[in-house]
Structure 1
Amino acid sequence: MAARDWHDWHRAYAQPASFLSRRLAVVQDRIREFLDRAAPGPLRVVSLCAGQGRDLLETLGTHPRRTDVTARLVELDPRNAAVAADTARTAGLDGVEVVVGDAALVDRYADLVPADLVLVCGVFGNITDDDVRRTVGYCAQLCATGGTVVWTRHRDEPDLVPRICDWFAAEGFTLSWISDKAAGFGVGVHRFAGAPRPLDRGARMFTFVADPPPRART
């Protein structure tokens, strides 16, 4: 099977009724809630495998807290990164940096963590269960005390979402919100109640599987 074209994958967002568009709306609502409730002052955001940055950038572009946010979006596909960079520039989001590179490398975030918001969207459906568990552990290094992680995962069988919630709990996170299984997708929000752990410099959090699922259910 040929490797997925991640730029072409984004075309589904042009269809309002598509799985990706419906899930995106939910993720954006969760980001908006985070921004609405965040304490006054600077906010740091990191986004892993950010794609075209639609989740954060489309939300931040019209939000009153837009100038408070310093964000780094890391995306391997240069075409998607170019779209994200153009969106940020057009919206005047001067605090947003788009980095072309491997989002699985911890060092990509070294000077911006612990962050107030960590986005792990479109990742957990493309890596092994062991790597999902490993990445959840690294979220305790990336996230500030009281910070928020927003993540996604499909609900196809075997449904890993309940175990992901358990893994977050084991790492010191509390569940703030989880989408209903009937929605057909999983969006989770966890708040970190612990103290950030030292960053494991030089480490890799995950590796995308060679043959991703046939449906756009990441």
Structure 2
Amino acid sequence: MKDWLEWHQDYDDESSELSGRLRSVQQSIRAHLDAHPDGPIRVISACAGQGRDLIEVLATHPARDRVTARLVELDPRLAETARAAAAANGLTGIEVVEADAGASAPYAGAVPADLVLFCGVFGNITPEDTEATVRALPAFCTPGATVIWTRGRHDPDIRGQIRAWFTEAGFEELAFDAPTGVAWSVGTNRYLGPEAPAAPERLFTFTSYLT
């Protein structure tokens, strides 16, 4: 089994691919916050890890006090790091739930959300679970919500299919960042559909399918 705490250490190297992906995700988070200068913003994050993507943005963003977020992370060490970072930055609206992000139950009461983060998920589940999850995401979104997701170029490279699944599920693509020479890519999509029925009890099984 992969040691996810050790894996996160690459974030501390600004030249690493993981740091590059983080910067891209954070750019999309900032864009969403900047586009919503008034009113509350509800966020959920699946497989949130240490929560660096959202917490580091909110630490200095003017929207920080308007954001309530639920971060779902199974690894207790990563969850505790996220809690400590949120507390250190005075982000009282962030809740970190230690639970299986592949189940729908941990998101109850926090969805539908305005900003949905599925970063570091699709590269660690099967293509079948990826498709099922994308098609279930409308249940987690308010109309007009932004979804940010990541997936590497690993075989099988299903990034094109993921983008098509989002379109079929009622999303428009706002951005797809896939720089030449790196393995990562970041997608940003807006939900165009109406409020959707509840998601199934099980979205995916995190298997470290691709490492």
Distance 1:181 1:127 in 2: 23
Runs of 4+ in 1 over 6 A off after TM superposition: none
Task: Return the letter of the residue paired with 1:78.
Answer: P
Distance 1:200 1:33 in 2: 27
Asked if 1:125 corresponds to 2:123, the answer is yes
Q: Which residue of 2 aligns with 1:198?
A: 197
Percent of pairs identical after alignment?
A: 48
Name the SS for the 2:27 alignment partner. helix
Distance 1:145 1:139 in 2: 12
Q: Which residue of 2 aligns with 1:141?
A: 139
Task: Return the letter of the residue paired with 1:111.
Answer: G
Task: Return the letter of the residue paired with 1:213.
Answer: L
Distance 1:71 1:180 in 2: 27
* Structure 1 gap segments, 5+ residues each: none
Name the SS for the 1:17 alignment partner. coil
* Alpha-carbon offset, residue 186 of structure 1: 1.1
* Structure 2 gap segments, 5+ residues each: none
* Alpha-carbon offset, residue 8 of structure 1: 1.2
Q: Which residue of 1 aligns with 2:187?
A: 188
How many residue pairs align between the two structures? 210
Name the SS for the 1:30 alignment partner. helix
Within a 5 Å distance, the mapping from 1:1-218 to structure 2 comes to: 3-182=1-180, 183-200=182-199, 203-209=201-207, 212-214=209-211
- Aligned 8 A contact 1:110 1:199 in 2: no
- Aligned 8 A contact 1:4 1:212 in 2: no
Name the SS for the 1:71 alignment partner. strand
* Alpha-carbon offset, residue 181 of structure 1: 4.7
CA spacing shift, 1:139–1:39, aligned 2, 3 Å: farther
Name the SS for the 1:113 alignment partner. coil
- Aligned 8 A contact 2:154 2:210 in 1: no
- Aligned 8 A contact 1:143 1:196 in 2: yes
TM-score when normalising by structure 1: 0.93
